[in-house]
Amino acid sequence: MGSETRPEDSRGAKRLVDYRFTLANERTFLAWIRTALAILAGAVAVLHLLPLDWAQVPRTAVGLVLAGLAGVITVYAPLRWYRVQKLMSRGEALKMSVLPVITTFAVGLVCALVLLGNLL
């Protein structure tokens, strides 16, 4: 038991990584994808589902911003997964990700726009 130090599954890994960490990395990737899908659902709702009393331009703008944010997250999530995977296999420290900040500000901006548009 434990004689193999380089299992088949860890291609490109310099050393054996604890499977709990790689699986947690995979779940983090999936959580980002679900975040993107939830934001995309918001975009679909604004653009195609709800009969809002908005003008065409703000409706399209809010929908496109949400869809674009979902696209950015979807592109970033696998890159982040790969980067973390490489850092873990080398045993280095993980770097901070800017994506939570971007997501927070973009969602906050959309909320503020919708709120202001409804109040004014």
Partner 1 sequence: MTSSAEPPNEPFAESPDEPPAEPPTEHNGSGLQPERTLLAWQRTIALLVVVGLLFLRGSLVPGGDNVPEAPLVVRVATMAVLLVIGLVLGLHLWFRWRACEHGTRVPETGRPPLYLARPWAMAVLCAGVLALVGVLVLTVLLGL
Angle made by CA atoms 93, 98, 103, in degrees to the nearest 5: 140
* Residue 22 sits in the site that holds partner 1 (CB under 8 A): yes
Could you tell me how many residues of this chain bind partner 1 (CB under 8 A)?
A: 45
Q: Is 55 in the site for partner 1 (CB under 8 A)?
A: no
61: part of which helix (H) or strand (E)?
helix 56-90
Cβ-contact 88, 21 below 8 angstroms = yes
Question: What single DSSP character describes residue 93?
Answer: P
Interface with partner 1 (CB under 8 A): 1, 4, 7-10, 17, 19-20, 22-24, 26-27, 29-31, 33-34, 36-38, 40-41, 43-45, 47-51, 56, 60, 63-64, 67-68, 70-71, 74-75, 77-78, 81
